[in-house]
Structure 1
Amino acid sequence: MWHLTLQEKKAYENAMKLFIYESDEEWTQYIAYAKENDIDPYKEKKKELDEIRDSLMNYLPLRFHTYVIDGTLNTPDVPKHVRVDFLGWRNEQEQLFENILEAAYEEKQKTLAYMESKEREVFEQSLHDATIVSIHRNATQVELTFDMAGGFTAKSIISLTFTNIISEVGQVEPEQFYIYDELRKTANGMALRVIFDCPEVEWTIEAEELDAEFYYRPKTYSDFAENGNFSNYVQTLKLEHGLTFITPQLKQRVIGIQQHAPFIILENSFLYENDQGVFVDTIRVADKLDDCIHFIHTDTYEDPYAHFSEPVPIQDLEAAALGTDIELKVRAWNTMYANPVQLAEKINDILMQMISAHEDEMMQNVFIRHFNSEGILTSELQAKFKDLLED
């Protein structure tokens, strides 16, 4: 039996729809705020209640219906014992759903032990907020490709391929968002349940095999993503890192980079541009070449911020740490953070010269606390930053 269901998700969301203040003090503060801003608090709360009245009557326990009908449930006029009861019920619904998510997570963790490394890596990370780019099917297989731009991973594209499908319930479509999931090992293979959004659907599939592929953005992607210039972008790419051209319609390996349009050579087809747009063979993929920047992915992850970890030579530390070049400044402070004992004398010299600045407050907090924990700050510096160290 699955822990995760769309019904449980809806029950949780419905329980959280109606906002009410939890204490008399909060109500008093709200009414004072409303008066100061010329807001009618009762009119405002009636509007909020009216917008969800019908759904409230469908999911709230019967004991609260009277207070929805008379319009007092989300006002200070509701009896205190009713407010306490409602808040207790809502907290119970929240805890129930948290328990369901925890059970689904534990089920997935147990299943990871049966997976190959690539597939395990995908599900160890979160697919939350991934967007379906494409769905490709044949008689025995379905492949879902996800854009991870809104997700929580360095991966840019993830494809899940289910082979020898045993069962599939629910319908998915491009542009849906991946919200929650539960993964199970079955006697026949693997089963996955996902709650998608926009539109909302519960999708469950079981197949004999589940395979994953994933790609990353090239290191220079962020330099060109907004301003375009496909021709210049392509010249920064590294063919030896493995490049793939991926659109909703197709996926082709890049086997060559050239100096002239269309600038890349695909494995089994070719890219070209005319007055009708950009095509791969007869398939139109974009309005113009600059749009194709978003279609190139690499097999190899390169940290786009790795240069910030490059150490600054000791003789240049002071000028870099106290200067205005942001990149050099970050590198200098990272250098000192990584080598506090070896650079103790230099760090103390720099900190004595440093003037507190509001825009550097967080930086000062992190670094100075770190240096203090390493025991390298002089008593004079401890006095200088006393307020920060005592917070």
Structure 2
Amino acid sequence: MWNITKEAKGKFSRCNLLPIHESDHDWEIVLREAEEEGEDIIAALKADLLEVKEELLQILPDCFIPYVENGTLNQPTLPKTIRENYLQWMREADREFEQVLDAAHENTAHAVRSLPAAVQEVFNESLHDSIIERIEREGDTLHLYINTESGFQTKSMIHFTFRQIRAEDTDDPIQVGQWLVYNELQKTGDSFHFRVLFDSPEAEWTITMKHLDAEYFYRPCLYTVLQDEGKMEETSFSEFLAQLNPEHDYWFITPHVTCAIKELSENIVIENGNIEWAQNKMVVTVGKACFTYALDAYNPIEFIYTNVYEDPYAHQNEPVAMDELEQAALSDDIELQVRAWNTMYTNPKELADIINCVLYKMEITEENEMIRTVYVNHFYKEGILTESIIEKYHTIID
């Protein structure tokens, strides 16, 4: 029996079709900001409700139906008791789906213990929001290449190999470009069963096989730095290769081929193939297969991977001395700020006095919204915030 199903995901999604503001204070802020910006918030909310009305009526308890019909379910005029009941109904739906995900995680954790270490390493991190990049089939073997850069993995590319496939079922054939949303792994006897819910297009895919293997690759840390600093386009392929760590192994991975790199040079040498450059295109030949990539559509830097993970921002985890923390956290030096906040995040109880002092002095701006939301909630859960600080930041505390 599967926990992850389209039905469970659909119910969760429908229960969250129409979020509403949770308190009178929230409404005061929303209405004030709308007035300042000249926005007709009431009309906008009516349009939001109308857009999801038909779906809502299919799932809402009867007690909320009148407020859908009269258009007040997401309006500030909704009676407070109804608002609280509706929010409680949404929270219960969230908890129910969290239980589904927890059960799926338990099944996966149990099944993965019987699989190779590389597969266990892959499942140690979430596959959520990964994208299918390549699908290859050979008899009863399926190769599935998953790009995880848009998700929550430190890995950038995962190559799953499903061997001795015994069954495969889907309501819509899997295809390149689909997003992985939720997954669950189970084991029965000598078989493994892998269920995935995909999006764009939506599909529920289940595969049963005797063997599951995986290999994974990382982006060189230089790639991440160039990407984050917006310098990728101005960096040539040869400049990029010249800055890579020569002690690491590298792979050349395109939408069609995966080859170990034998030599890093301007004329890069790949195993069992070759690369040629001509008239704004790159031609990759592997065996008898030949693939052409237009350089205005593909940056060859994106094809370089390694099997060594390097944290490009490891230096930001270097702790700041206690007597320098307050000044660092409030400084204009972004890197120093990050180090200071990371230091406080890691040692909240020991640094409680400094944390409260920093939060008291910190000016609330749009620029520090992320810091405020993430860190304040963390410190609140640690129970180290003073009453005055809780009051100052009460609008962002969960």
Separation in structure 1 between the aligned mates of residue 118 and residue 280 of structure 2, nearest angstrom: 39
Mapped pair 1:299 → 2:307: yes
Separation in structure 1 between the aligned mates of residue 152 and residue 15 of structure 2, nearest angstrom: 27
Q: Quick one: structure 1 residues 133 and 70, their matched pair in 2 at CA, closer, same or farther if it must change by over 3 Å? A: same
Aligned residue for 2:9, secondary structure, equals helix
2:214 matched residue in structure 1: 212
1:279 matched residue in structure 2: 283
Separation in structure 1 between the aligned mates of residue 298 and residue 140 of structure 2, nearest angstrom: 37
Residue 48 of structure 1 and its aligned partner are, at CA, apart by: 1.2
Instruction: Report if the CA contact (8 A) 1:286-1:292 is conserved.
Output: no
Residue 235 of structure 1 and its aligned partner are, at CA, apart by: 2.6
Q: Quick one: structure 1 residues 142 and 355, their matched pair in 2 at CA, closer, same or farther if it must change by over 3 Å? A: closer
1:2 matched residue in structure 2: 2
1:247 matched residue in structure 2: 254
Mapped pair 1:118 → 2:118: yes
Separation in structure 2 between the aligned mates of residue 385 and residue 205 of structure 1, nearest angstrom: 52
Separation in structure 1 between the aligned mates of residue 238 and residue 23 of structure 2, nearest angstrom: 61
Q: Which runs of 5+ in 2 are unaligned?
A: 362-384, 390-398
Residue 107 of structure 1 and its aligned partner are, at CA, apart by: 1.1
Which structure 2 residues correspond to residues 141-180 of structure 1 after superposition, within 5 A? 141-170=141-170, 171-180=173-182
Residue 139 of structure 1 and its aligned partner are, at CA, apart by: 2.0
Aligned residue for 2:273, secondary structure, equals coil
Residue 300 of structure 1 and its aligned partner are, at CA, apart by: 2.3
1:257 matched residue in structure 2: 264
Q: Quick one: structure 1 residues 77 and 120, their matched pair in 2 at CA, closer, same or farther if it must change by over 3 Å? A: same
Separation in structure 1 between the aligned mates of residue 124 and residue 329 of structure 2, nearest angstrom: 42
2:13 matched residue in structure 1: 13
Mapped pair 1:202 → 2:204: yes
Residue 207 of structure 1 and its aligned partner are, at CA, apart by: 0.7
Separation in structure 2 between the aligned mates of residue 40 and residue 195 of structure 1, nearest angstrom: 38
1:326 matched residue in structure 2: none
Q: Which runs of 5+ in 1 are unaligned?
A: 309-329, 338-346, 375-380
360-369 or 35-44, which deviates more: 360-369
Aligned length in residues? 346
Separation in structure 2 between the aligned mates of residue 124 and residue 13 of structure 1, nearest angstrom: 26
- Summarize deviations over 1:52-92 as a string: whole Å, max 9, x none: 12222233234433332222222244455443432232222
Q: Quick one: structure 1 residues 142 and 363, their matched pair in 2 at CA, closer, same or farther if it must change by over 3 Å? A: closer
1:139 matched residue in structure 2: 139
Percent of aligned positions with the same letter in both sequences? 32
TM-score (norm: length of structure 1): 0.76
Separation in structure 1 between the aligned mates of residue 328 and residue 2 of structure 2, nearest angstrom: 58
Which structure 2 residues correspond to residues 99-114 of structure 1 after superposition, within 5 A? 99-114=99-114
Separation in structure 1 between the aligned mates of residue 151 and residue 296 of structure 2, nearest angstrom: 27
1:359 matched residue in structure 2: 332
TM-score (norm: length of structure 2): 0.75
2:366 matched residue in structure 1: none
Separation in structure 1 between the aligned mates of residue 118 and residue 298 of structure 2, nearest angstrom: 32
CA RMSD of aligned residues (A): 3.5
Aligned residue for 1:155, secondary structure, equals coil
Mapped pair 1:193 → 2:191: no
Q: Quick one: structure 1 residues 286 and 243, their matched pair in 2 at CA, closer, same or farther if it must change by over 3 Å? A: farther
Larger Rg: 1
Separation in structure 2 between the aligned mates of residue 272 and residue 172 of structure 1, nearest angstrom: 32
Instruction: Report if the CA contact (8 A) 1:278-1:288 is conserved.
Output: no
Instruction: Report if the CA contact (8 A) 1:163-1:208 is conserved.
Output: yes
Separation in structure 2 between the aligned mates of residue 368 and residue 83 of structure 1, nearest angstrom: 37
Residue 294 of structure 1 and its aligned partner are, at CA, apart by: 0.8
Residue 158 of structure 1 and its aligned partner are, at CA, apart by: 0.5
Separation in structure 2 between the aligned mates of residue 55 and residue 216 of structure 1, nearest angstrom: 42
Aligned residue for 2:255, secondary structure, equals coil
